[in-house]
């Protein structure tokens, strides 16, 4: 350190001691800090930590793999204080250099609970082997992800971020790492951010984490939501697995928020997949009117009636009392069976509840009335061809006279 630097450091320290009590404490080595980027130089990034503290980040700490900067002036960054030079605090976002300094950095990372980057080299018994700055580390299988994963091979070759849980330097040293710890920290940060903006109608991206007979659970970045089977699709869904799969990313909308007695999950979040789709029911029923006749296929029978599909994804119910005209029916199977093509009359349409009431009895009556009317028309036409009774009598009389 030069003489000027020494003088500046002394002045800075004196001003800190003279500052009134209650002012923001100057961070110490090992502290986790958060600050705003105020300027970016050729070799360093300068961070305002509040009060009179300024942090300096090596530019390489915030470079992406392609060499581009991951921060800009005005961005906030999280880091650890690794050195106090009096005039400024030296910060690091993560450790993981190579060469002779690697082991010293690992020791520092372990002591300061800082993240390190390492490349997964292979799957070994009980977990993963990872190269961290030329030092071989071990990740237990239970620490490779938030949830236990049987197959760890997809992680091989990837450069990931870890926490050091054990470190013993030396030729026969021991380096034990945890990726799960890093992911859980990120999850907690995401949870806080997502909870702050959570509201009904919010559209979110999530990942299917597990599937049950009644629906699927979705990870919303630290929050867990429930996607009930009835909210998967407008069509009838027999099994959730027919629509979604574990690990699949989905876009969902929040439809209900309820308090929970579970301290780990104080909020029940209900989600919907189908709410973001166009409702085919409304599209297929917009031209239907009460009193009109429709044709459809019987899809299933219940004690109370028969369901008939009259359009793709649109079913109507023929109540048992509307299945036959003029006779008592104990069960719909006495009249129809699944797969039958039938004709029915629309009795009612409820767009809000997606319900359509149908009547086959009314259809039969209409058909009988039509048959009767047709028969009457044929009778009239036949009579017109034969003429009236008087005409027939006159013709008969003329015939008799002619014979005489």
In order, the DSSP letters of 331-396 are SGGGT--TT-EEEEEEEEEETTTTEEEEEHHHHHHHHHHHHHHHHHHHHHHHHHHH--HHHHHHHH
Distance (Å, rounded) from C-alpha 321 to C-alpha 155?
63
Ramachandran region of residue 187, left (φ > 0), alpha (ψ -120 to 50) or beta?
Answer: alpha
Q: Write the CA distances from 197 to 22, 162, 184, 203, integer angstroms.
A: 33, 29, 20, 11
DSSP-derived 3-state class of residue 309: strand
Confidence label for 270 from pLDDT (cuts 50, 70 and 90): very high
Q: What is the tens place of the pLDDT at every residue in 99-117?
A: 556 777 788 888 888 888 8
In this structure, are residues 288 and 349 in contact, taking their beta carbons and an 8 Å threshold?
yes
pLDDT (mean) for 218-237: 88
Distance (Å, rounded) from C-alpha 263 to C-alpha 82?
37
Could you identify the residue written with the tokens 């054990």? Answer: 166
Distance (Å, rounded) from C-alpha 325 to C-alpha 304?
16
* Percent residues over pLDDT 70 in the chain: 80
Confidence label for 297 from pLDDT (cuts 50, 70 and 90): very high
Say which residue, 72 or 170, is predicted with more confidence: 72
Low-confidence winner among 153-162, 217-226, 240-249, 277-286 (lowest mean pLDDT): 277-286
In this structure, are residues 334 and 384 in contact, taking their beta carbons and an 8 Å threshold?
no
Distance (Å, rounded) from C-alpha 180 to C-alpha 159?
15
Residues in the chain: 404
Joined together, the tokens standing for residue 170 give 């030396």
Q: What is the tens place of the pLDDT at every residue in 196-224?
A: 888 999 999 999 999 999 999 999 988 88
Joined together, the tokens standing for residue 168 give 């013993």
Q: How deeply is 75 buried, as exposed, middle or buried, from its count of CB atoms within 10 A (0-12, 13-18, 19+)?
A: middle
Provide the CB-side half-sphere exposure for 97 (13 A, CA): 15
In this structure, are residues 358 and 396 in contact, taking their beta carbons and an 8 Å threshold?
no
Q: Is the pLDDT of residue 398 over 90?
A: no
Distance (Å, rounded) from C-alpha 382 to C-alpha 361?
31
Distance (Å, rounded) from C-alpha 327 to C-alpha 365?
13
**Whole-structure pTM value:** 0.50
Residues 6+ apart with CB under 8 A from 263: none
In this structure, are residues 387 and 393 in contact, taking their beta carbons and an 8 Å threshold?
no
Q: Is the dihedral of CA 154, 156, 157, 158 positive or negative?
A: positive
What the chain holds in terms of domains, given with CATH numbers, is: 27-92 (2.40.50.140), 101-183 (2.40.50.140), 198-276 (2.40.50.140), 282-364 (2.40.50.140)
């Amino acid at each position: 350190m030069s003489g000027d630097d020494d003088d500046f450091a002394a002045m800075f320290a004196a001003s800190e001691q003279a500052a009134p009590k209650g002012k923001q404490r100057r961070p110490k080595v090992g502290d986790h800090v958060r600050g705003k980027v105020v300027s970016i130089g050729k070799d360093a990034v300068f961070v305002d930590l509040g009060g009179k503290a300024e942090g300096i980040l090596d530019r390489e700490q915030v470079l992406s793999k392609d060499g581009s900067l991951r921060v800009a002036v005005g961005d906030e960054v999280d880091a650890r204080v690794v050195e106090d030079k009096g005039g400024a605090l030296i910060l690091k976002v993560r450790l993981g250099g190579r060469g002779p300094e690697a082991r010293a950095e690992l020791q520092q990372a372990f002591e300061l609970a800082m993240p390190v980057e390492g490349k997964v080299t292979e799957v070994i018994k009980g977990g993963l082997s990872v190269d961290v700055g030329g030092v071989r580390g071990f990740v237990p299988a239970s620490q490779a992800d938030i949830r236990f994963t049987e197959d760890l091979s997809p992680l091989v070759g990837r450069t990931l971020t870890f926490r050091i849980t054990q470190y013993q330097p030396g030729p026969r040293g021991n380096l034990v790492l945890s990726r799960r710890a890093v992911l859980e920290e990120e999850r907690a940060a995401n949870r806080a951010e997502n909870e702050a903006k959570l509201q009904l109608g919010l559209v979110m991206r999530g990942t299917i984490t597990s599937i049950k007979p009644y629906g699927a659970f979705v990870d919303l970045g630290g929050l867990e939501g429930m996607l009930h089977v009835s909210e998967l699709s407008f069509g009838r869904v027999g099994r959730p697995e027919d629509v979604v799969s574990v690990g699949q990313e989905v876009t969902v909308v929040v439809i209900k928020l309820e308090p929970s007695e579970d301290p780990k999950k104080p909020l029940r979040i209900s989600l919907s997949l189908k709410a973001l789709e166009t409702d085919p029911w409304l599209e297929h029923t917009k031209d239907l009117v009460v009193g009109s006749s429709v044709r459809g296929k019987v899809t299933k029978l219940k004690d109370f009636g028969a369901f008939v599909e009259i359009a793709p994804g649109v079913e109507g119910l023929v109540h048992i009392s509307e299945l036959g005209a003029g006779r008592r029916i104990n069960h719909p199977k006495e009249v129809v069976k699944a797969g039958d093509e039938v004709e029915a009359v629309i009795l009612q349409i409820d767009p809000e509840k997606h319900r359509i009431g149908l009547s086959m009895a009314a259809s039969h009556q209409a058909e009988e009335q039509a048959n009767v009317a047709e028969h009457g028309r044929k009778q009239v036409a036949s009579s017109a061809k034969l003429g009236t009774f008087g005409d027939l009598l006159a013709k008969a009389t003329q015939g008799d006279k002619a014979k005489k």
